[in-house]
Structure 1
Amino acid sequence: MKQIFLASTLFELVCLAAGIDGGDYDRPAAPVLMGTGGLGPEDAPTSTERILLVSNNAVVMELSESFIDAPGAASLVERFDRVVDLNDALAPLHVHPSSWRPDHADLPIVESYLRRRWGLDEADEIELIIESPQVNPAIALGRVFSRATIRVHADGLMSYGPTRNQIPMTNGQRMSVLHHLPLVPGVSPRLLHEFDIVHRPLGVESFTAVVHELGEHSTDALEGEIGDVLGKSAQARPWALIVGQYLSALGLISSEEETQLHIDMIEAAAARGMEVVVFKPHPAAPPSQTGPLLDAAERLGITLRMFDLPIMAEVIIDRLSPDLIVGGFSTALITARQIYRVPALAVGTDLLLEAIAPYQNSNRIPLTIISEICDGSTPDDAPSHPRLRRLLAAVTYCMAPTLSHDLRDSATDFLTEVFDEDNESTVRFHRYFKRRRLTALALPGSTSKAFAPKRMIKRSGTLVVKAVARKQQRIMKRIQSR
């Protein structure tokens, strides 16, 4: 059997390397829907070759570099027998990996083409280890290699939310295990729940060891960059790391709003007593305006440095231990806080909660988690978050009521508390829900006080929800006509 590992970011490569080091991919896996519990038989064939399939999914590919060319990445790539490039394979089709949707009739031809190009015999058994299973190119790969078993590796916080797009049943039936980095204590991933996928957390020690290794093998590049960006005099002063994202490139906010958001982050760091701020843009982000950021730093009397080296934020945190990390809803905030015990501060979450659309946008779950946890407090002294699990369940149901019908009752109970109690501890939860969404689902907090009978509310499914919405509209029209 040959394993094909799909990865599109350096962080995902780190998580894959950590899983390989921990022996997670040596354990045989089998589709859960066969009643295996995700475990393969003991006599299952072991992997004879590990192939890293690299995909560049950047919005502007011409302005981004492959993550395997990043400093230190070569050490991680050595864990694989060889590397193949998905973009190169799709080049004759002039298609972006995220837009790759081969026609059903072409699937056998495409499989034969990829097997020849990637040196796979027709008789070779394949196991796919894919990222982001609900979008392409992961969906397309599952359709092309229709006989392959499928594992999923999740590197960030989206795994704690529902599957945002419908996955072909032929793909879901072959899924076995979800390998994920445990970033939210006490909360289990929700991704692929509809297929009863088995959750296997990565070892945190394996993850930190790989991050440290990545830093050790990029020492030369780091020393030159850090010497320019964060000299000895600067390191002796309180400093913060700001991690940028590419929100405007994704259409979530405008470029002007993103620039202002970065200025707000600088101001938040200064308000916390930071004298030096290091700004690290996202590797996939297009060039952004730096003039307004420098002006803001000068106005605040702090030193601003730009960190342009394509290095993971976790490597910087591991080697330099900043006093604070600031961002929007980057996964780096939660890894800094939960794994490296560095205070993390989320800025602009109210703006982003309002901006992301539609409501079922997968970024909503990471944003919700970051907004609740990353308040800038010292991790050791941070308060517990007893309502986080219930909040995520309610948001998950509102995002995907059909796939998450089992969460209807718990969401109703939570929303009843949130919208009935008039105190600061509950009112702050209002920002995570949209009134129109609650109204459409006949949930507490909706703009209409006319709810469907309980026996209908307890049932779930698209048809029932739509029927309830239509009934509400008829009731409201009769009320308004009186």
Structure 2
Amino acid sequence: MTQLFYASTLFGAMTLAAAIDDGRFGPRDGRRILLVSNNAAIPEITPSLDQVPGFAALRPRFDEVRSWNDVVAPLHPSDWKARIIEVPMLGRLLLSHLSLDGGPDELILESIAVPPARTLAGLVKDCPITVYSDGLMSYGPTRDPLPAEISGRITRLLHLDLVPGLSPLLLSEYGVPAETLPDRAFLDVIAQSGASGEETRDLPAGPPMILGQYLSALDIVTPEEEAGLHADMLRGLVARGFDTVLFKPHPAAGRRHAQRLRETAGELGVRLAVAGEGVPAESCFAALRPALVAGCFSTALITAGRHFGLPVATMGGELVLERLSPYENSNRVPATITDALLPRLSADGSLEEPPPVDLQALVRAVGYCMRSETYPGLREPAAAYLDAHGPARYFKRQRLAALELSPAPSAQQPGALGRLRHRLSRALS
């Protein structure tokens, strides 16, 4: 039996390794090929996942590791897709290139709705597809509709239980069953990946940690706003009494974030240690045990708290939720989950607990507003949630109006005119 796996991140490769170790892909009685893709903005200067130290422990699970970037070069893997007329020819060429003239018996993909995964699903035909989740996005709706030729072949969704009690919405409209991977298998893989300790040997143990993302590269915020967000995280941690902070840049973000944050650290008179681009955040959690992990809406924030028992905090959630465009942006559900679940860090060092929330109901309501035509059965629960809680910071009034889902007046937050009237009535009473 030949299985063709695809991964674009080390986190994804670790998830695959956990699934393999847990027996989700059966006994190893044939070829297992891992096709890796480097989807960074400039992949030529960013290490691919198979080039970072943590991958060495994962490598024995696969008979071959091949590069999708090499196949499509000089085109970018996130942008290129075959034209319909080219699919039969390019599919044959790809299988020949991988020495899979008979085709694989199973195709295993992440992020199925977008290239490169969707491109691969269109080129590699006539075999079942397993989809594995790429973090918190599995709890949100499928980003784009899938053609029947692809959706009809998907047999299951494998995902980590990042938020216990929350069910994935991804692919549910196609009746794809979701299977949870055990925590233990994932933690064992992380332990193996960081077993040598070389990745974290020169990093300080114990100080708080800032998780970088690449929000400006995704056009969510401007580069200046993202640098300001990192600076405010640093100020907040310093205000809480820390004089050393660890910064973990996102692998696809490049070095500019660390350079800007070093300047802020110099102004504040604190030490900033920077983890290498290829060092998994999870290895830092396990080996260094940060006193506090701060970030925006990274899946690693949830992983730090859920799997490693570390204190976590979020910052910038309200800004991101406001800026995400269009409303159905696939980052909306991860941003919603972290903002609704985690304490909120301020630049003055204060931590504010979020108000209590029915997370399942909130995520389902947001998911319906993102893809109302795909999940019509969620309309009534969404309306009930909005009537009970109002739009708060997770819903756009324009989207609600378009869906005729404006919440009941008693549940709506007062607007500027309403607040002015309230203050005037109090002043005159």
The TM-score with structure 2 as length reference comes to 0.89
Aligned to 1:311: 279
The TM-score with structure 1 as length reference comes to 0.80
How do residues 57-456 of structure 1 correspond to structure 2 at under 5 angstroms? 57-91=39-73, 94-122=74-102, 124-217=103-196, 219-223=197-201, 225-226=202-203, 230=204, 235=205, 239-290=207-258, 292-375=260-343, 386-419=357-390, 430-445=392-407
Report if the CA contact (8 A) 1:212-1:315 is conserved. Answer: yes
Report if the CA contact (8 A) 2:250-2:277 is conserved. Answer: no
The alpha carbon displacement at 1:373 in A equals 1.3
Aligned to 1:56: 38
Distance 1:138 1:294, change over 3 A: closer
The alpha carbon displacement at 1:105 in A equals 2.1
The alpha carbon displacement at 1:90 in A equals 1.3
Task: Tell me whether 435-444 or 82-91 shows the greater mean CA deviation.
Answer: 82-91
The alpha carbon displacement at 1:264 in A equals 1.0
User: SS of the counterpart of 1:222?
Assistant: coil
Flag the structure with larger Rg.
1
Task: Tell me whether 355-364 or 300-309 shows the greater mean CA deviation.
Answer: 300-309
User: SS of the counterpart of 2:383?
Assistant: helix
Report if the CA contact (8 A) 1:439-1:446 is conserved. Answer: no
Q: Tell me which amino acid in the other structure corresponds to 1:366.
A: P
Give me the whole-angstrom Cα distance separating, in 2, the residues matched to 1:22 and 1:83. 21
Report if the CA contact (8 A) 1:3-1:47 is conserved. Answer: no
Q: Tell me which amino acid in the other structure corresponds to 2:380.
A: D
Give me the whole-angstrom Cα distance separating, in 1, the residues matched to 2:344 and 2:229. 17
Report if the CA contact (8 A) 1:324-1:376 is conserved. Answer: no
Report if the CA contact (8 A) 1:244-1:281 is conserved. Answer: yes
Give me the whole-angstrom Cα distance separating, in 2, the residues matched to 1:193 and 1:47. 31
Task: Tell me whether 391-400 or 82-91 shows the greater mean CA deviation.
Answer: 82-91
User: SS of the counterpart of 2:374?
Assistant: coil
Report if the CA contact (8 A) 2:343-2:354 is conserved. Answer: no
Distance 1:193 1:354, change over 3 A: same
The alpha carbon displacement at 1:253 in A equals 0.9
Report if the CA contact (8 A) 2:249-2:258 is conserved. Answer: no
Task: Tell me whether 302-311 or 343-352 shows the greater mean CA deviation.
Answer: 302-311
Give me the whole-angstrom Cα distance separating, in 1, the residues matched to 2:263 and 2:147. 50
The alpha carbon displacement at 1:303 in A equals 2.4
Give me the whole-angstrom Cα distance separating, in 1, the residues matched to 2:344 and 2:272. 20
Distance 1:438 1:47, change over 3 A: farther
Give me the whole-angstrom Cα distance separating, in 2, the residues matched to 1:262 and 1:6. 32
User: SS of the counterpart of 1:159?
Assistant: helix
Distance 1:446 1:110, change over 3 A: farther
User: SS of the counterpart of 1:105?
Assistant: helix
Give me the whole-angstrom Cα distance separating, in 2, the residues matched to 1:89 and 1:98. 13
Give me the whole-angstrom Cα distance separating, in 2, the residues matched to 1:95 and 1:292. 30
The alpha carbon displacement at 1:79 in A equals 0.3
Q: Tell me which amino acid in the other structure corresponds to 1:387.
A: D
Over aligned residues, Cα RMSD in angstroms? 2.1
The alpha carbon displacement at 1:250 in A equals 1.3
Give me the whole-angstrom Cα distance separating, in 2, the residues matched to 1:384 and 1:430. 11
Distance 1:206 1:416, change over 3 A: same
Give me the whole-angstrom Cα distance separating, in 2, the residues matched to 1:341 and 1:222. 19
The alpha carbon displacement at 1:359 in A equals 0.5
Task: Tell me whether 349-358 or 269-278 shows the greater mean CA deviation.
Answer: 269-278
Give me the whole-angstrom Cα distance separating, in 2, the residues matched to 1:373 and 1:383. 7
Q: Tell me which amino acid in the other structure corresponds to 2:198.
A: D
User: SS of the counterpart of 2:247?
Assistant: strand
Percent of aligned pairs with the same amino acid: 41
Q: Please, which runs of 5 or more residues in structure 2 have no aligned partner?
A: 346-352, 410-429
Report if the CA contact (8 A) 1:436-1:446 is conserved. Answer: no
